[in-house]
Structure 1
Amino acid sequence: MSFTMKIKLAYLLFFLCLCTGCNTTQGKFKKVEKPNILILFLDDLDPNFGCYGNPLVTTPNIDKLASEGMLFTKAYAAATVCSPSHTTLFTGCYASTIGAPNHRSNYINKLPEGYHILTQLMRNAGYFDVNFKSNGNRMYNKLYGATAKTDLNFDRGKPENNLESGKEVFNHLQIIDPTNIATYFKGGEWGKKEKNQPFFAYANIETGKKHGFIPGRAWAKENNIDIDSTQINIPPYYAGTDEVRSVLTASMDAVSHVDFEVGKFLKALENEGLDKNTLVILASDHGATLPRHKQQLWSTGLKIPMIIRWPNHIKSNSINKELASIIDIAPTCLAAAKAPIPETMEGLNLIDLSTKEREFLFATKDGMGGVFDVSRSVISKKHQFIYHYYPEIPFTANGYAKRTLSFKSMVKLQKEDKLSPLQDIYFASNKTDAIELYNLEKDIDQVHNLAKNSAYQNLVDRYKNVLVKWQKQTGDTIVDARKLLGVTKIPIGTMVDDVLGVK
């Protein structure tokens, strides 16, 4: 080989090394460093932390997380209850798009062709995937540490790690001791992680749910941070009864308790030297376990906290005022992992500031506790539009709503005709209005339904068209239950199985 040819070959090899990122001194390919990813998914919580403007709660850990990253002021759930919301998290799609919007249902055995579950995609990207579960009994799991709950509406399978979840979708389950955070990110399953392999970890924390209210109140008192119930501001859609005030106070003390549990994971990351290269995403699946919140499409049921921290990638103390959704979490994780995002995913990459601003978000409400219902919502920065396909079905049609999401004192007042018109809406025997439209900037408590005002008819029609267009694009077909059942009004308590013809 001539000297000239050798020179050309040397240059060629040099440029190949530049293109492929190989290490010429060691003769090995240099791996592109990927961040660890930790999702802290909080069940049943409003954006009710100090960093979101609540001065009564004690949330130093979550507030610090927000100060070190990006806080989203317009983040929403894509569904009103646990399983369809968790389904949107792990697929990056609306639950209706994949045909799985009904709560804890198994009407589809697997995802439609072309759709993917996040855990598998992260494994494909080289990640060690791990779910967390606290030791101890079931109630202990719900109140401290993490529950291992995934709660997907497809291929649910036999309940494995959590009675509310069904089939496990993580390859690894880390059993943690909430009294010893040294068990969080080392020992146990972590021994199976390859050296330098990035992890994709998920912790579902249920401390703020209804079963955590009373223990949360007790915990707050033990730590001298309990809230004075006289300081609670009762929203206009609630009556000012002793029961209402007591429950709202306990719910906020439970929020402080949640912060304590979140702090354990953040401190454990720091102790293991993992915090600097870990993308942390904190969010809730929907609103609080309170009437007019959980299970409902009002903003109280959909607006959630969302905070993202990624050192050296996301500027600290950032405030994001764009529309964000739970469906965005999956593509955001994949983007951070430098993994391809399936075209079927409907969410956006939240850490890409060049991402086109979206004009609308959508949310679904379907059957819960097996009881049939269908409503949809369109959300913009300024307005929320809600369409109830079966207004004859009351908001409290299912047993869980009657039992857990109702104030007994307000039910009594409703029977005595002593509630205000706004307070009566939730407890009435049917939905007062089939169509609702609210100005989210001027009417935070959603008191004034603009759809009743003829002056807003053009705006109502616009949102109707937006909804119909989205439904056609995503295949969200609303079943004609009245025709199928041969009735003019759907009877209260009609089961989803009866409408769908499932035996």
Structure 2
Amino acid sequence: MKIISSFLFFSILITFPILSLAQDRPNILWINSDDLGVELACYGNKDVKTPHIDQLAKQGTLYKNAYATAPVCSTSRSSMITGMYPPAINCQDHRTINMTMLPDGIEPITTYFKNAGYFCSNGSPADLNKKGKEDFNFLNENLFDGTDWRQRAKGQAFFAQIQIKQPHRPFVRDLKNPIDPQSVTLPACYPDYPLLKADWALYLESIQDADRQVGEIMERLEKDGLLENTIIFFFGDNGRPHLRDKQFLYEGGLKVPLIVRYPKLLKAGKIDQQLVSLIDVTATSLALSNIEVPKHIQGNVFLGKNSSQRKYVYGFRDRTGDAIENMRSITDGRYKLIWNRTPDRSWMQLTSYKKLEYPAFALYHYLYEKGELKAPFNQFMADTKPEVELFDLKKDPMEFNNLENSFKHQKIKSVLLSKLQKDMVFFEKNRIQENAATEKEAMESSVKYYKKGLMEENLGLKVDATYEQIVKKWEKELLLK
């Protein structure tokens, strides 16, 4: 009997070697909050209440210098799910129209998790029986096995993503903990204007709603007895949804919160200052699961064995909707260099999405037309951009003072620009430039989006409404009680 039992035991191991290994590995959970900047209490913001995220930070490590690879969702998400920079997989244009397959040899990381016996899920916190946001810019199918880790086989390890919609626009009011617009402190990159403060307060209320959902996720994880063997990564997919932030390579568009909880490896309450790119989360998730990180992956492992700290973080921006751009950035943590490869374009060129959803877009145009948008905010209304922008993030965190022509900063400019230009040759080898017909299609689609948005939201505006009329509409909605 003992011989037969041993034979059966080893037969099972041979038949199911991957699953048996996976059961000894940690679970991985990505909690992705859509359009979330670092406006959290644990990051120092005093106007917002985020007790659940703060608790997560107290139990884990909070990263002060984490960056998305792109300031818009589909590009950033495509990057994270592959561990590759956006143009390296031809995913640099937001919601790519002419999608392609991933280049040969490159797979979504769910492939590597599945091969190691993991159950892969992607769900919505509102209902984990429903799919969560994906928004990838490449042709794909069957990336996930399900929507909820509870759908896995008994004892099977999982790689799960939960997609929190907030604080993406339109914002959600927090009726239990409303925020007084008059009491909030706007980032110094924006003029202290009542309409902007009201919009900012709603953004913070949306963050509070996201925090509530984080609390529910953590409670569910603990209820299932999975909390201590699950490595939790909490982050925003790109920066905050405001005028000079999302879609741009300034700090507000790229800098995101990143909190990692895993008591078996990380000390509670630690604050880490190292530079981290979100594709490092990808590489690190594989490594901590004892899955070999494929050599092509461009992220660094920043935790555990064989971890390393990166010297530079890169940012990428191409077309978003009908706003056609080509921007690249690099930072060493102190200095940020932005390479504007389409300097003939205005920062405030038409973007139908922002015209419809962002009060600041209309307000800036309206104030500028009247000559009332003062310095330094009026810089953003220039008809063209400098080819190179260089900022000292320590002395100028709002990125207003371009040091491109500063004699004192020519050396750091040369180092960063040379590094960026050299690396782009490699990073962009799979990039396919959209042609004129595709760009036209994108612009026509954005105009339809704008018209449809006006009708659905019953804004009482005509398609050719002036910026003054749009501002008055926003004031009526956000300021009048």
Preserved CA contact (<8 Å) 1:382 1:439:
yes
Preserved CA contact (<8 Å) 2:199 2:359:
no
Q: 1:474 to 1:410 in 2, by over 3 A?
A: closer
The reply to whether residue 53 of structure 1 matches residue 47 of structure 2 is no
Tell me the residue number matched to 1:208: 167
Tell me the residue number matched to 1:63: 54
Equivalent position to 1:348, from 300, 304, 314: 300
Preserved CA contact (<8 Å) 2:322 2:352:
no
Secondary structure of the residue that 2:348 maps to in structure 1? coil
Q: Deviations over 1:447-476 (max 9, x none)?
A: 211113233222212211011111123235
Equivalent position to 1:319, from 260, 263, 271: 271
The reply to whether residue 171 of structure 1 matches residue 125 of structure 2 is no
Separation (CA, whole Å) in 2 of partners of 1:477 and 1:443: 35
Tell me the residue number matched to 2:244: 292
Preserved CA contact (<8 Å) 2:90 2:430:
no
Equivalent position to 1:244, from 196, 208, 211: 196
Tell me the residue number matched to 2:383: 429
Secondary structure of the residue that 2:274 maps to in structure 1? strand
Secondary structure of the residue that 1:208 maps to in structure 2? coil
How far apart are residue 134 of structure 1 and its match? Answer: 5.5
Q: 1:150 to 1:406 in 2, by over 3 A?
A: same
Tell me the residue number matched to 1:403: 356
Separation (CA, whole Å) in 1 of partners of 2:287 and 2:199: 41
Separation (CA, whole Å) in 2 of partners of 1:438 and 1:235: 17
Q: Deviations over 1:418-456 (max 9, x none)?
A: 11232123344333x221111111211112111132332
Secondary structure of the residue that 1:172 maps to in structure 2? coil
Amino acid at match of 1:170: F
Q: TM-score, normalised by structure 2?
A: 0.82
Q: 1:154 to 1:454 in 2, by over 3 A?
A: same
Secondary structure of the residue that 1:47 maps to in structure 2? coil
Tell me the residue number matched to 2:452: none
Separation (CA, whole Å) in 1 of partners of 2:281 and 2:95: 21
Preserved CA contact (<8 Å) 2:125 2:217:
no
Gaps of 5+ in 2: 1-5, 14-19, 444-481
How far apart are residue 210 of structure 1 and its match? Answer: 1.6
The reply to whether residue 150 of structure 1 matches residue 134 of structure 2 is yes
Separation (CA, whole Å) in 2 of partners of 1:380 and 1:450: 15
Identity %: 27
Tell me the residue number matched to 1:376: 328
How far apart are residue 291 of structure 1 and its match? Answer: 0.6
How far apart are residue 126 of structure 1 and its match? Answer: 0.5
Q: TM-score, normalised by structure 1?
A: 0.79
Separation (CA, whole Å) in 2 of partners of 1:448 and 1:146: 46
Secondary structure of the residue that 2:137 maps to in structure 1? coil
Gaps of 5+ in 1: 1-22, 157-166, 175-184, 486-492, 499-503
How far apart are residue 497 of structure 1 and its match? Answer: 7.3
Amino acid at match of 1:94: Y
Q: 1:497 to 1:265 in 2, by over 3 A?
A: closer
Separation (CA, whole Å) in 2 of partners of 1:378 and 1:459: 12
Q: Provide the alpha-carbon RMSD of the alignment.
A: 2.7
Equivalent position to 1:466, from 414, 419, 428: 419
Secondary structure of the residue that 2:240 maps to in structure 1? coil
Secondary structure of the residue that 1:197 maps to in structure 2? coil
Separation (CA, whole Å) in 1 of partners of 2:206 and 2:359: 18
Tell me the residue number matched to 2:451: none
Tell me the residue number matched to 1:490: none
Q: 1:134 to 1:45 in 2, by over 3 A?
A: closer
Preserved CA contact (<8 Å) 1:38 1:202:
yes
Preserved CA contact (<8 Å) 1:76 1:325:
yes
Q: 1:307 to 1:146 in 2, by over 3 A?
A: farther
Separation (CA, whole Å) in 1 of partners of 2:390 and 2:440: 28
How far apart are residue 494 of structure 1 and its match? Answer: 5.9
The reply to whether residue 100 of structure 1 matches residue 54 of structure 2 is no
